Structure 1
């Protein structure tokens, strides 16, 4: 029997987009999955829309209080029983072959961690507005310090090989800290240079407001990696420069 995949999703006020995300999971060609959705006290119809889908693989948990995306992901991770961990935010999208292709690529390369290309799309039309982000480099702890090539929508890891990795709830850059901690344990993650996902670029997304999160990124290095001030400033500058390049490649 195929190994179980645990899909980890935080949801919050996603009523406008959640059904498209749900359909992208239900349409997966790899069918042995559980979907652990932790709703972070949505104030819209997100929870009601999720409950419309009568599939026992969809496991919704409504949190007692709002605690942020990292905390919501952790609540799902605590309950996850699958060998493979995959992340999908409640406004993003996978192509039908995402799980099958990612697991096959992981097995072929005997890898603990893999990531793929993803389209960067308009939040309403889901049409590309930037060139696809390309999974074109092996990722290591060293090169991930300078730029975060791993996105939840396009990355998967094997808990049988590495265990579970949780998100630091006191960081606004919790994704980057978690990936760095994971890559302290393994030598590298492998790139699957194929577009298998869509990332919805929300106008109000914190991750796009680079000027507002320079300090948060600095704290990734200073507080969570334990680097000196000088070393933390060096990596923050690299991250900011690479972030500019990442979002300046306009689609044409």
Structure 2
């Protein structure tokens, strides 16, 4: 039985999946299987995979397009491993990701999930930008209520925990964000300060194609989390909170009236009795300052 399963859902990624698989097979760490679940592709995905004569690769195909959540949950059920490393069929694994993430989890029993930094590229593989995700577990736990703190295809998880939690079909298109929140409630989570992924952003990318559905699901998720904090919120306040999550902050909060609106909203959020019982006051002040600076472009 391999120690790790690299779980790759695939849908019409014939153009990219060879590069994806090559990047995994080049990893220094070798105690893994690659589990590809084809969600009813209509292109040449299966033919490309057939060109790989490698016993590490297991290829399954859904009889019909079931969607990302059902496909991933199926993979969780059949994975024969202690750890699950997520990858998407159009991305590229970087560095010594598997060995370093697995080693971290083996040495830190209180952590159930670990991610890493990532690069964004276009459909032709041209570099666009780099994202350096946070490491501190406390920051990440609370930060998830403001925006997603992990790149899904750069995450490695303990199988026992993720199988128990599973992906929730209610949050299709932000199923990862929901899962990270629930992960952070049962164990520590972190990102390692190394680039482990080249994430491909293009018009055919599922997150790009489903922006409306994704944003609707994220707003429902954020509303749920605000309810947990006992922070009442109007539709307008939720949209303001969502704007930060969607990355609109630096442009939106240039206007002084919008800065004032955000200050009043954050005054309300950070007066939450739940938050003030959970965290030290000075830590919360520092966290708020970082969120305003990093996600809203507001100093101080």
TM-score range for the pair, normalised by the shorter chain length? 0.7 to 0.9
Note the alpha carbon deviations across 1:80-130, whole angstroms, 9 max, x for none. 111111100000111251101212233344432211111111111x22212
Measured in 2, the distance between the counterparts of 1:105 and 1:244 equals: 30
Deviation, structure 1 residue 8 = 1.1
Contact persistence 1:214–1:240 (CA under 8 A) = no
Name which one, 1 or 2, has greater alpha-carbon Rg: 2
Partner residue, 2:82: 83
3-state secondary structure, aligned to 1:75: helix
Unaligned 5+ segments in structure 1 are none
Note the alpha carbon deviations across 1:166-201, whole angstroms, 9 max, x for none. 212232311111111211211x31221111211011
Measured in 1, the distance between the counterparts of 2:133 and 2:213 equals: 26
Measured in 1, the distance between the counterparts of 2:184 and 2:189 equals: 8
| Larger fraction in helix | 2
Partner residue, 1:138: 136
Contact persistence 1:214–1:236 (CA under 8 A) = no
Q: So what's the TM-score if we normalise by structure 2?
A: 0.72
Q: So what's the TM-score if we normalise by structure 1?
A: 0.85
Deviation, structure 1 residue 243 = 3.0
Partner residue, 2:68: 69
Partner residue, 1:220: 221
3-state secondary structure, aligned to 1:241: helix
Matches within 5 A, 1:1-252: 4-110=3-109, 111-124=111-124, 126-130=125-129, 132-139=130-137, 140-159=140-159, 162=161, 164=163, 165-171=165-171, 172-186=173-187, 188-208=188-208, 210=211, 213-222=214-223, 230-231=232-233, 234=237, 237-244=240-247
Contact persistence 2:2–2:80 (CA under 8 A) = no
Contact persistence 1:146–1:236 (CA under 8 A) = no
Deviation, structure 1 residue 207 = 2.7
Deviation, structure 1 residue 203 = 2.0
Q: How has the CA–CA distance of structure 1 residues 112 and 16 changed in structure 2, closer, same or farther, with 3 Å as cutoff? A: same
Note the alpha carbon deviations across 1:22-77, whole angstroms, 9 max, x for none. 10111111111011111011000001111221222211110011111121111111
Measured in 2, the distance between the counterparts of 1:45 and 1:238 equals: 41
Measured in 1, the distance between the counterparts of 2:10 and 2:49 equals: 10
Q: Which of the pair has the greater relative contact order for Cα pairs under 8 Å at 6+ separation? A: 1
Measured in 1, the distance between the counterparts of 2:156 and 2:238 equals: 25
Q: How has the CA–CA distance of structure 1 residues 43 and 175 changed in structure 2, closer, same or farther, with 3 Å as cutoff? A: same
